[in-house]
Amino acid sequence: MTTFSCIVFLLAVGSSTLSGLKNITARPGQNVSLTCEALGNNKTITLEWSRPDLGGKCVFLYRPNYFHQDDQHESFRNRVFLQDIQMKNGDLSVILKNVTPNDNGSYECKIKQQNDPPGGLKLICTINLLVSPSGNKDGAREVEKPNVGVSLGRPGPIALPSVLVAAVLAVPLF
């Protein structure tokens, strides 16, 4: 029973790095990297970064070879750019330039890929941004670079070792 408990615990800890709301804190004027990655080799045909509180307008919208500024909320025009224009290796990250307290909120990265079934966009990650004059509130060391970000969508450093340990511990059960 103890081995089973260990397996459940390790899997829970590992999976927590893959899902849920992630928080980042920035100071006004910084450039923030909203980092998101899609797994697999499936070509992304629609990428949308949105905030639920924007009344239907998006933060950033990309469809094949075209950035749709008409659907973009005015406060984000000329401030949001793809980190990698080719979205190599599933990199769906955007850079939000010159953040202000008005940028506070939850940002959702949604996509539709070439081989997806018909329907809407699927949520890949959610990032909660807090722009605070004091910067990081968690006591973290100040970063010299003006960019901050969070990476989601791929297993974190805990997930793979956790699964491997769980597999080794599970062997005596069978």
Q: Taking the chain (174 residues) in consecutive chunks of 10 residues, what is each chunk's mean pLDDT?
A: 41 42 92 90 86 92 83 94 88 95 96 85 95 61 39 40 42 49
What is the structure's pLDDT at 41? 67
**Residue (of 118, 115, 96, 103) closest to 38 by Cα position:** 115
What is the strand order of the sheet 105-113 is part of?
22-26, 122-131, 105-113, 44-50, 60-63, 66-67
- 118 and 167 in a common domain: no
**Contact 14/157 with Cβ under 8 angstroms?**
no
- 132 and 148 in a common domain: yes
What is the structure's pLDDT at 172? 52
What is the structure's pLDDT at 143? 37
Report residue 53 as tokens.
Answer: 């509180």
- 92 and 80 in a common domain: yes
- 124 and 39 in a common domain: yes
The domain total for the chain is: 2
- 172 and 112 in a common domain: no
What is the structure's pLDDT at 40? 73
- 143 and 93 in a common domain: yes
- 89 and 59 in a common domain: yes
- 112 and 43 in a common domain: yes
Q: Model's pTM, two decimal places?
A: 0.66
C-alpha to C-alpha distance for 160 and 13, rounded to whole angstroms = 11
C-alpha to C-alpha distance for 129 and 104, rounded to whole angstroms = 5
Q: Which residues span the domain enclosing 7?
A: 1-18+155-174
**Contact 33/147 with Cβ under 8 angstroms?**
yes
């807090």: which residue's tokens? 130
- 173 and 89 in a common domain: no
Report the CATH number that the domain containing residue 147 is assigned in CATH: 2.60.40.10
Interhelix angle 2-16/159-170, nearest 10 degrees: 160
- 7 and 65 in a common domain: no
- 97 and 12 in a common domain: no
- 24 and 14 in a common domain: no
What's the sign of the alpha-carbon dihedral 71, 72, 77, 83?
A: negative
